[in-house]
Amino acid sequence: MGRARRHTADRVDVARRRIVVDRQVIETRKGLKLGPPKSRSKRTTMFPARTPAGVDLAALVERRLAELPADGLLFPSPRGSWARRSNYRRNVFDPAATAASWPRHDDGTLVWTFHSLRHVFAIWALAQPGARIEDVSRLLGHSTVRVTQDLYIAPDADLYDRFYQATA
């Protein structure tokens, strides 16, 4: 979430649907500051033209960018500065999840988390015709392809049974 809170208009190329990920907002005892992304892995990633529900995401991003100066925050606090994690969740993430009709547990908390979006993107990217795991791994900023494999490529349900039979 720290990465999303610091995105500025100059880091988004809407025509190519790309976002440069080279910093994040870090909360410290002294306040908020910019720092490198997790594992210091600067990268460029992308966003789909449409959401799974068919919403024209590229058009929404383009409209938002048109409202901002180059250094304008995509997701600012109500005062226009970096949002704290709790405020970002309350003012941006939760309303968006409600608008998207995300499911909730009986206690009202969301079934999916902010990080679920990353997993959905990874699985969607891996499912695209011609997708290479090496490319998806780079888009996600993983340190190795093995990390991507371990997280997103699960063995067949009967893998162990087949292997057991083959080696009996």
State the CB neighbour count (10 A cutoff) for residue 140: 19
Asked whether the CA dihedral 58, 100, 152, 74 is positive or negative, the reply is positive
- H-helix or E-strand containing 117? helix 114-127
Sequential pLDDT tens for the chain (168 residues)? 445 666 788 999 999 999 888 887 788 888 888 778 776 678 888 888 887 778 888 898 899 899 988 888 887 777 878 777 777 788 878 888 888 888 889 998 888 887 888 888 898 889 999 999 999 998 888 889 999 998 888 666 677 777 777 776
What residues are paired with 44 via a beta bridge?
A: 20
| Dist. CA 78–CA 144, nearest whole Å | 38
pTM above 0.85, yes or no: no
Tens-digit pLDDT profile for residues 104-141: 899 988 888 878 888 888 988 899 999 999 999 988 88
Helix, strand, coil shares, percent, the chain, to 5? 45, 15, 40
- Strands (E) in the chain, as ranges, are 12-13, 18-21, 24-28, 31-35, 43-46
